[in-house]
Amino acid sequence: MGQIRKIDDVYYIEFYARGLLYSQVAGGNLQEAERLLQEVEGKIAGGEALTIVRHIDLPDFYERFLSEASTQHSPKSVKRFASTIRHFSKFLSDDFPQVHQLAQVTPVIVESYKAHLVKTQKVKIVNLSILLIRDIMEFGIKLGFLNDNPSLHVRLLPWPKTVKRRPTARYNKAMQLLSQGVGLSKLVQLLKLPDISRTVYFSNLIPLSREDAYN
């Protein structure tokens, strides 16, 4: 049995078919959403599940991500994710208005966003923003709406040189985890950091690209 969800002024229907979660825009009218859901459920019952296209609109995806993040991260970290989503959404609206679905976000778009950030932000903020988007997109893979994370194909900017400090137990742990390809979300949980932005303290340990992670 499917259900109807409302995000802002838009209704979405969600349902399972072939063991997968589907999400679809149903417009701004509850009655229309109910009718669409009945039609979709009728198709599924009639064995027409293969004719249903699987995608998820970005507002729906972002809401699901933030809901999940709120159960795993501190309010500060969730606020940081929400801020990144708002800024990225504004960028898409201005520069890529045709992009409405998660699957439409490509490496080229994320690379363009990085170039956009470079104009006004410091290197650490640019890289942190891309890494946060990387974690957000990983959630899309977890839900099954993406097969590949587009941000993994975007190289980070060279990290600024920092004064060498005596390695602490936390620093050594971060080095071990990052060398294993652990993302920021998992790193925050394992190191019990109060805010995901604190991961920039380990910035010199974060590989600039996926290829660097294996070298």
Instruction: Give pLDDT tens digits for 120-151.
Output: 999 999 999 999 999 999 999 888 788 789 99
**pTM to 2 decimals?**
0.72
Same domain, 90 and 16: no
- Listing DSSP states for 26-55 in one string gives EES-HHHHHHHHHHHHHHHHTT-GGGSPP-
Q: How far apart are CA 114 and CA 156, in angstroms?
A: 9
CA dist 95 to 21, 119, 192, Å?
30, 15, 37
- What backbone torsions phi and psi does residue 152 show, to the nearest 5 degrees? -70, -20
* Average pLDDT score, the chain: 86
- Per the structure block, which two tokens stand in for 162? 């920092």
Check pLDDT > 90 for residue 26: no
- Statement to judge: residues 108 and 147 lie in one domain: yes
Element counts in the chain: helices (H) and strands (E)? 8, 3
Are 65 and 144 part of one and the same domain? yes
22 plus 116 within the same structural domain: no
How many domains is the chain built from? 2
Shared domain for 71 and 105, answered yes or no, is yes
65-115 pLDDT tens trace: 999 999 999 999 999 999 999 999 999 999 999 999 998 999 999 999 999
Structure confidence at residue 167 as a pLDDT band (50, 70, 90) = confident
Do 70 and 129 fall within a single domain?
yes
Same domain, 100 and 125: yes
Answer yes or no: do 107 and 151 share one domain.
Answer: yes
Query: Using one digit for the tens of pLDDT, what is the confidence trace for 179-195?
Result: 787 888 888 888 888 88
Domain limit, last residue, from 32, 51, 70: 51
Asked if residue 169 and residue 98 are part of one domain, the reply reads yes
Q: Which domain holds residue 163?
A: 58-213
Specify the amino acid at residue 152: L
Does 205 share its domain with 142? yes
Residue type, 18: R
Residues 104 and 77 grouped into a single domain: yes
| 72 and 117 co-located in one domain | yes
The pLDDT tens digits for 43-67 are 777 776 544 556 788 998 999 999 9
